[in-house]
Chains A and B, each alone.
Chain A
Amino acid sequence: MQKLYDVVVIGAGVVGSAVARELSRYKLDIAVLEKNLDVCFETSSRNTGVCHGGFAYDPGSLKARLCVEGNKMMGQLSEELGFAFKRCGKVLVGNTDVEYNQLLRVMEQGKANGATGLRMIDEDELHRLVPAVVGKFALFSENSGILDPSMFTIALAENAAHNGAEYFFDNEVTDIRREADGIWIITTLQGQFGTRWVINAAGLGCGKISDMLGLTGYRIIGSKDDYIILDRRLGHLVPMPIYTVPSNTYMGIHVTITTDGNVLLGPTAEDTDDLSYYGVEQRNLDYLYEEAVKIWPHVSRGDYIRTYSGILPKWIDENGKIQDFKIEIIDDVAPCAVNLVGIESPGLTASVAIARYAISMMLEREEFTPNPSFDPIRKPIPRFEQLSPEEQAQLIRKDPNYGELICRCEKVTRAEILQAIRNPLGCATMASIKYRTRSMMGRCQGGYCQMRISRMLEEENGIPETELVYMRKGGHPFFGKVREANKCDLEVAK
């Protein structure tokens, strides 16, 4: 243990990264410990990517308050951090009187939560806004939107790193104890970290870390969501997320759109105790199809690109009732430990608001000196595909690597891949490149580009092919070379 940190953040999901970024506004030595090989390999990238309006949560709850706050911040965050965000609005579509009344209740709840831009619209207006939808009326939330959840997390983390936060990947926390002098000693699979403050932003691991901090008794279950991603071809038919009328416990299946124009069907929402199993079930795929086609008849299996699954950590009480976000400092049990428990939806929307709320609790206990060199700006990798031909030509003149297209489906150039590999957090996996550039995410799913990208990553990181990792530790694509010249004893005579 070489260094004493002011703050160690456990977890490099969107909340941990937001906390690190917001803390880097102060003169603090910050370390972020992450068990995966990059940020956002769990819940933060495995969701719908909707920026919520804040109407779906109980008035007075942290979920409601921080969601509304987070929603209001999103435009500025997107400008500062260079991730895709569109305030495109969202509709909750209904057909029956019962549903109409339920939507009215949701609207009133939203107003009580401080959410603005909510109104009921009739069938005509609904079809003007979303021509392809099936429904008689809708609750329209004009301030809802969509964002790129993985780029949001990456941007927060890269900006935190840019402002001095240190990231330690492949560092799963195995033990936390507090020394007599008040220093927290955090043991990971790689080593030990000493810190004055510790922040539990472990997402799915929040219960485990909470227990290690001595804050026991939280019951966490997973809510597993399966999704189907459809081809971008259909994107124009979903100008904004389409939701059904929510029940008290389930938001229902949605047809949503990503910031890149892919249509998403999901989620399924099943309780699970296994917080690391991301398998997608056939019955869920069937269910998603059957339900989605009712509100949006353009679903066709020929447009499936990929399926995925995400798990939300839910804090439940002894009766199984889902609880609010818990954000706490319990001074007499775990001083200087910020405990974030059950940060599920709307955690993505609320992430920076959560971070600021948590930091305000720290500031009640300690004064932090502002960091005068804090730079809120993180420049995104210019996306060749999104530029005009003239801008594209100019980029190529500046950097010829922009003229070499590596991923054909999403038109990602060599220059973008190189920038992704050379990002401030480092790049240990192929998935890191995927999330940063969209390469391998298109309809051919890397059929054309993955060979080139794997070679570039090997070369840039100077690693043998057997050490290349796709995403998870141990997920090696290669067992070795097919042929090695140094194992040949004969040279072809020419």
Chain B
Amino acid sequence: MTREYTCIMCPNGCLIETEYDPAPASEGAPVIRSVSGNLCPRGAEYVLQELTDPRRTIATSIPVTGGELPLASVRLTAPIPKDRIMDAMAEIRRYKVTAPVQAGTVVIHDIFGLGSDVIVTKTVEAIEPSGKTE
């Protein structure tokens, strides 16, 4: 079979054409016959990943109590299977944090055992007691 991919590994966004044998119904990985159009080897890795186990990262926010900002942004440290993205969103939605919170703070360690952490990406200081809050 042949299929085209737009590589998302870097901004070049190479249009990659691949020829492969699909995986047998039971198990096993598809066998890639050829990959062309990619400017770097990561394109080939991407295609293999897409064929076997497509993964993505996400970024969102969690609410901050007593912070100078109402939200702290968070992201996944490593891609997770595409079909778990909405599950991950639901899980992250359960979390709040009290200011101050530092960028890098781990919100969820190894989410769903998928080898990816959810970390805070923006430091949010506590507000002065007299300040306004959300």
Stretch in B2-10, B18-26, B27-35, B93-101 touching the partner: B93-101
Cross-chain contact B97 with A491 (CB below 8 angstroms): yes
Cross-chain contact A485 with B132 (CB below 8 angstroms): no
Q: Which residues of B contact A491 (CB under 8 A)?
A: 95-98
| Chain A residues with a Cβ closer than 8 Å to the other chain, count | 12
Q: Given contacts A459-B132, A490-B96, is CB(A484)–CB(B105) below 8 Å?
A: no
Mask for B76-105, Cβ within 8 A of A = 1, else 0? 000000000000000001111110010001
> Least Cβ distance of B102 to chain A in Å?
8
A494 vs B105: C-alpha distance in the bound complex, in angstroms?
A: 7
Q: Which residues of B contact A488 (CB under 8 A)?
A: 62-63, 93-96
Partner of A492, one of B71, B97, B132: B97
CB closest residue in chain B, given A484: B63
Q: Which of B70, B101, B132 has the most CB of A within 10 A?
A: B70
CB closest residue in chain B, given A491: B96
Q: Which residues of B contact A459 (CB under 8 A)?
A: 132
Cross-chain contact B94 with A490 (CB below 8 angstroms): yes
A494 vs B102: C-alpha distance in the bound complex, in angstroms?
A: 9
Asked whether any CB of chain A lies closer than 8 Å to the CB of B61, the reply is yes
Partner of B62, one of A481, A489, A492: A492
Cross-chain contact A482 with B71 (CB below 8 angstroms): yes
Cross-chain contact A492 with B107 (CB below 8 angstroms): yes
Q: Which residues of B contact A485 (CB under 8 A)?
A: 63-65, 96
A490 vs B93: C-alpha distance in the bound complex, in angstroms?
A: 9
A488 vs B62: C-alpha distance in the bound complex, in angstroms?
A: 9
> Least Cβ distance of B66 to chain A in Å?
10
Cross-chain contact B94 with A492 (CB below 8 angstroms): no
CB closest residue in chain A, given B72: A492
A485 vs B96: C-alpha distance in the bound complex, in angstroms?
A: 6
Q: Which residues of A contact B97 (CB under 8 A)?
A: 491-492, 494
Cross-chain contact A483 with B61 (CB below 8 angstroms): yes
> Least Cβ distance of A464 to chain B in Å?
11
> Least Cβ distance of B67 to chain A in Å?
10
A489 vs B64: C-alpha distance in the bound complex, in angstroms?
A: 13
Cross-chain contact B105 with A492 (CB below 8 angstroms): yes
A488 vs B65: C-alpha distance in the bound complex, in angstroms?
A: 11
Q: Which residues of A contact B64 (CB under 8 A)?
A: 485
Partner of B61, one of A482, A489, A492, A494: A482
Cross-chain contact A483 with B94 (CB below 8 angstroms): no
Q: Given contacts A483-B62, A483-B63, A483-B71, is CB(A489)–CB(B105) below 8 Å?
A: no
Q: Which residues of A contact B96 (CB under 8 A)?
A: 483, 485, 488, 490-492
Mask for A377-410, Cβ within 8 A of B = 1, else 0? 0000000000000000000000000000000000
A482 vs B134: C-alpha distance in the bound complex, in angstroms?
A: 12
> Least Cβ distance of A357 to chain B in Å?
50
> Least Cβ distance of B39 to chain A in Å?
36
Mask for A5-33, Cβ within 8 A of B = 1, else 0? 00000000000000000000000000000
Partner of B95, one of A481, A482, A492: A492
Q: Which residues of A contact B62 (CB under 8 A)?
A: 483, 488, 492
Q: Which residues of A contact B94 (CB under 8 A)?
A: 488-490
A484 vs B95: C-alpha distance in the bound complex, in angstroms?
A: 10
Q: Which residues of B contact A483 (CB under 8 A)?
A: 61-63, 70-71, 93, 96
Q: Which of A481, A484, A490 has the most CB of B within 10 A?
A: A490
A83 vs B117: C-alpha distance in the bound complex, in angstroms?
A: 58
A489 vs B96: C-alpha distance in the bound complex, in angstroms?
A: 8
A319 vs B95: C-alpha distance in the bound complex, in angstroms?
A: 70
Q: Which residues of B contact A489 (CB under 8 A)?
A: 94
Q: Which of B63, B94, B105, B120 has the most CB of A within 10 A?
A: B63
> Least Cβ distance of B63 to chain A in Å?
4
A409 vs B93: C-alpha distance in the bound complex, in angstroms?
A: 37
Cross-chain contact B101 with A492 (CB below 8 angstroms): yes
> Least Cβ distance of B31 to chain A in Å?
43
A459 vs B70: C-alpha distance in the bound complex, in angstroms?
A: 14
A492 vs B93: C-alpha distance in the bound complex, in angstroms?
A: 12
A121 vs B61: C-alpha distance in the bound complex, in angstroms?
A: 66
Q: Which residues of A contact B61 (CB under 8 A)?
A: 482-483
A293 vs B85: C-alpha distance in the bound complex, in angstroms?
A: 54
A488 vs B97: C-alpha distance in the bound complex, in angstroms?
A: 10
> Least Cβ distance of A341 to chain B in Å?
49
> Least Cβ distance of A457 to chain B in Å?
13
Q: Which of B61, B95, B98, B132 has the most CB of A within 10 A?
A: B95
Q: Which residues of B contact A494 (CB under 8 A)?
A: 97, 101, 105
Q: List 10 A-B contacts (CB under 8 A).
A: A482-B61, A483-B93, A484-B63, A485-B63, A485-B96, A489-B94, A490-B94, A490-B96, A492-B120, A494-B101
Apart from A492-B107, A492-B120, what are 20 other A-B pairs with CB-CB below 8 Å?
A482-B61, A483-B61, A483-B62, A483-B70, A483-B96, A484-B63, A488-B62, A488-B63, A488-B96, A490-B94, A490-B95, A490-B96, A491-B95, A491-B96, A492-B62, A492-B95, A492-B98, A492-B101, A492-B105, A494-B105
Residue positions of B touching A, CB distance < 8 A: 61-65, 70-71, 93-98, 101, 105, 107, 120, 132
Residue positions of A touching B, CB distance < 8 A: 459, 481-485, 488-492, 494
